[in-house]
Structure 1
Amino acid sequence: MSTPSPLREHPVAEAAIVDTIRRLVECESPSRDHAAVARSADLVDAIGTELLGVAPEHIEVEGVAHLRWRFGSSTRVLLLAHHDTVWPMGTLQRLPFGVQAGVLTGPGSFDMKTGLAMALHCVASLDDRDGVTILVTGDEELGSPRSRALIEETARGASAALVLEASADGGALKSERKGVSLYEMVVSGHAAHAGLEPEKGVNASVELAHLTIAAAALSDAVAGTSVTPTLAASGTTTNTVPAAAQLWIDVRARTASELERVDAALRGYRPVTRGASIDVRGGVNRPPLEPGMSAMLFALAARLAKRLGLAPLQHVAVGGASDGNFTAGLGVPTLDGLGAVGGGAHADDEHVLVEEIVPRTRLLTELVTEISRTEEPWHN
């Protein structure tokens, strides 16, 4: 085990970082609005250049703007953030940025513009940035369809990935995330008149019902696997045997083997309705962040928090996914939930506790420093 470096006074001022959060929040950036995301990327560029003294790479993938700062010839520590949000344009008029009684509010403040501000201020405060990379993506809230390859290319070979997603309840870090698979099951049947000759049809709605029940039965509560039929559509008119139907399925699992089990079962499903056929689209979207990939990083974070005089750190497993799933899937040790402490993600009561911002940024800075200066293997 390496000898921890001595703690130093952290230069991040609360007023400065809160002002950065304000600027980020007041630039709306809904994921599906590429022009808004591009404006947000320009602002992140401007703020980051002010703080870091160097401009980032602008990386556009299929119209979506991403940013990357690399210090040194290789990445040892990756700070991972995103600047898109779930909130549509105009939300700021209804839910403006504000700070009242120590609570910061505004669309995207908790998820995750505070975490992004923390990452920028953290790296700006480092005496030695060699080996540190900041990646800020623009489509995380959509499942990172246009940034996954960039994330994986940037993370490959890193010693650790630190994800600035917001914390869990009470400031707990996220040491485990379920993997996600998403499917669209397309059922094909044969149309016929529902009154004159229904026997000549192949009812896609009936097959959809069988498929829905079979899919839900793949859930395994003991293993922590959920298979949830979510959206269904079928038919054209009220007097026609439906010739087509669609079923969307959301799968969450703690292990890659469980995702593989469900995938094999869905692809191996055989229609119950004679004459029906099924086309399986989609598959594994994000691998799981399994606890072995975060345990040693969490232990380091807990030691550093104690040395900083912070409350004892907690960690939890969560069902939601993040870009940290991708880094963990590559075998890169990953610790998530290092961003804002607060609550209300994706809800009108989204908020951040201001008193936690600077202490969490200090913790992040010490984590980056320790990982950068040691050859520690940061996973089990």
Structure 2
Amino acid sequence: MMRFEGTDASMISPTWFDSQTILDGIRRWVEIETPTDAPAQVNRLVSLVADHYRDLPVALERVAGVDGCGDHLIARSAWGQDEPGILILSHLDTVHPMGFIERLPFKIEGDSAFGPGIYDMKGGAYIAHHAFRALCTAGDRSPLGITHMFTSDEEIGSPTSRALIEKEGRKAKYVLVTEPARDGGKIVTGRKGVGRFEVFITGVPAHAGTRPQDGRSAIRELANVIQTLEGMNDLKHGVTVNVGVVHGGTRPNVTPEEAHAEVDLRVPSFADAEEFVGRILGLTSKTEGVTVKVTGELNRPPYEKSNAGAALYEHARTLATEIGFELIDSHTGGGSDGNFTAAHTATLDGLGVDGKGAHTHYEQLYVSSLEPRARLLHRLYQTLR
């Protein structure tokens, strides 16, 4: 059974949640560029984050990166580790390539602070750390142990961190994900499952001018496959299938022997996942002499709003009201590491900063969101039981 502690805030200096103080910390993280495919850069930031924990009552575990990804860092509170506690999930990698900070340097304009990955999700990762530091500085001990995991590969689907996330998620009672807020500060209580597939088609080459009858076009068959995939879209139900990349052929006068496509699937439920993964993997050729092979899988399961997740959201909503803002929940098509925990552990996502422009040349957080969002995380640490 879930239990939530009373909601009287502990005494703590107001300066702890000063927006400028928090922003100064975020800036240090943002100005170390961390594309997923630059593990040395990611590890520079991992080392800085670890340094931020050195004076706090935590045990640090650094998991060496593999397969071209950076290290993962886990900070465990010195208390409460003998029973299920709170797991915080954050990622340090960004989609922006090295050198992008010259195009999008850290700057403040009005209520917006700009920089690569500042919204998705260095701002959220930092405020979760800052709220923990505030807890420790005030001499507090949260009712439950706190484990903060920083991963290096979320932006490419978490291939090297997924097993670690699932292991820690199953041990936890609550999971808090510091992905950015949505649409003006909304929390996330549901996400679609994500599937990725590759289609390989092999036909028969021929001279397109002198012997067209001998050829079997792989590209023509790919067109059939694309029509079939596009026909699976059901926007009303929330199922989307997107053929995002295609390749094929060698020259205009050669019947193409090979064609290839990359496909993205988004589904709202496990039942949909089972159906549409099966349909995509079961694609066959409509042309004699041409073969169709499909590989892939669901790489993020659907994050459906469970009863436990709903109760966690209602508790957070009450805390937000006391802090002075309204917390509205939402469902989104994008995946996160919360997809890996929501099926078995109460999970609340979108706890990071508010802003806009994730993955773009104008990515920004709203400075006015820093104090209330950091306070909310702090109160969740204080009250979750």
Q: With the length of structure 1 as denominator, give the TM-score of the two structures.
A: 0.93
Per-residue Cα deviation, 1:161-211 (whole angstroms, up to 9, x for no partner):
100011001111111111100100111112122122222222111110100
Q: Which structure 2 residues correspond to residues 210-225 of structure 1 after superposition, within 5 A?
A: 210-225=224-239
Equivalent residue for 1:88, pick from 78, 97, 107: 97
Give the corresponding residue for 1:58: 62
Query: Is the alpha carbon distance of 1:131 and 1:53 closer, same or farther for their aligned partners in structure 2, counting shifts above 3 Å?
Result: closer
How many residues matched? 369
CA contact (8 A) 1:75 1:132 kept: no
User: Within 5 Å, which residues of 2 pair with 1:9-28?
Assistant: 9-11=11-13, 12-14=16-18, 15-28=20-33
Alpha-carbon distance between aligned partners in 1 of 2:133 and 2:242, rounded to the nearest angstrom? 44
Conservation of the 8 A alpha-carbon contact between 1:173 and 1:316:
yes
What SS does structure 2 have at the residue aligned with 1:249? strand
Q: Partner of 1:273: helix, strand, or coil?
A: coil
Q: CA deviation at 1:79?
A: 0.6
The 5-angstrom pairing of residues 177-192 of structure 1 reads 177-192=191-206
What aligned pairs does 1:247-266 form with structure 2 within 5 A after superposition? 247-266=261-280
User: For the Cα contact (< 8 Å) 2:103–2:361, is it kept in 1?
Assistant: no
Question: Partners in 2 of 1:295 and 1:194 — Cα distance?
Answer: 60
Q: CA offsets per residue over residues 262-293 of structure 1, 9 Å max, x none?
A: 11111222210111112111110101111226
Task: Tell me: CA distance 1:118–1:171, structure 2 relative to 1, closer, same or farther (3 Å).
Answer: same
Q: Secondary structure at the match of 2:341?
A: helix
Determine the C-alpha separation between the residues in 2 that align with 1:21 and 1:296.
31
- What secondary structure, in the 3-state scheme, does the structure 2 residue paired with 1:57 have? strand
Give yes or no for the alignment of 1:346 onto 2:350. no
3-state SS in 2 of match to 1:289 = coil
Question: Where do residues 309-328 of structure 1 align in structure 2 (5 Å cutoff)?
Answer: 310-328=324-342
Counterparts in 2 of 1:213-252, with a 5 A limit?
213-252=227-266
Equivalent position to 1:195, from 206, 209, 212: 209
Q: How does 1:1-380 map to 2 (within 5 A)?
A: 2-11=4-13, 12-14=16-18, 15-50=20-55, 52-54=56-58, 56-62=60-66, 63=68, 64-71=70-77, 72-126=81-135, 127-129=140-142, 130-292=144-306, 294-308=309-323, 310-329=324-343, 331-371=344-384, 373=385
* Secondary structure, counterpart of 1:291 in structure 2: coil
CA distance in 1 between partners of 2:350 and 2:59 (Å): 26
**Letter matched to residue 115 of structure 1:** G
Deviation at 1:3, TM superposition (A): 5.0
| CA–CA distance in structure 2, aligned partners of residues 221 and 174 of structure 1 | 20
CA distance in 2, matches of 1:10, 1:252: 44
Deviation at 1:74, TM superposition (A): 4.3
Contact 1:164 1:337 (C-alpha < 8 Å) held by counterparts? yes
Distance 2:4 2:86 in 1: 17
CA pair 177-10 structure 1, distance change in 2 beyond 3 A: farther
Secondary structure (helix, strand or coil) at the match of 1:252 reads: strand
SS at match of 2:189: strand
Deviation of the 1:5 alpha carbon:
4.0
Q: Hey, which bits of structure 1, 4+ residues long, moved more than 6 A?
A: none
Normalised by the length of structure 2, the TM-score is: 0.91
> Bigger shift: 251-260 or 195-204?
195-204
Q: Does structure 2 conserve the Cα–Cα contact (< 8 Å) formed by 1:75 and 1:155?
A: no
Rounded Cα–Cα distance in structure 1 between residues aligned with 2:35 and 2:281: 34
Q: Percent identity?
A: 38
Do the aligned partners of 1:206 and 1:273 also contact (CA within 8 Å) in 2? no
Is residue 281–residue 294 contact of structure 2 (8 Å, CA) maintained in 1? yes
Alpha-carbon distance in 1 for matches of 2:203, 2:84: 52
Shift of 1:226: 0.6
User: What secondary structure does 1:328 align onto?
Assistant: coil
Structure 1 residues 148, 167: CA separation in 2 closer, same or farther (over 3 Å shift)? same
Cα distance, 1:258 vs structure 2: 0.7
Structure 1 residue 54 displacement after superposition: 4.1
Of 8-17 and 175-184, the range deviating more from structure 2: 8-17
State how far apart, in whole Å, the 1-side matches of 2:268 and 2:213 are: 44
Query: 1:219-242: CA deviations, max 9, x gaps?
Result: 222321011111111111111111
> 1:121/1:137 Cα in 2 relative to 1: closer, same or farther (>3 Å)?
same
- Take 1:178 and 1:305, find their aligned partners in 2: how far apart are those partners? 26
Paired residues of 2:179 and 2:350 also in contact (CA < 8 A): yes
Q: Residue 186 and residue 121 in structure 1: after superposition, are their counterparts in 2 closer, same or farther (change >3 A)?
A: same
RMSD: 1.7
Partner SS, residue 34 of structure 2: coil
AA aligned opposite 2:241: V
Answer yes or no: is the 8 Å Cα contact 1:61–1:147 preserved in 2: no
Q: Write the distance in 1 (CA, Å) between the matches of 2:4 and 2:61.
A: 33
In 2, the alpha carbon distance for the partners of 1:3 and 1:60 equals 37
Aligned residues of 1:175 and 1:315 also touching (Cα < 8 A): yes
Q: Distance in 1 between matches of 2:22 and 2:141?
A: 21
Query: Structure 2 stretches of 5 or more lacking a match?
Result: none
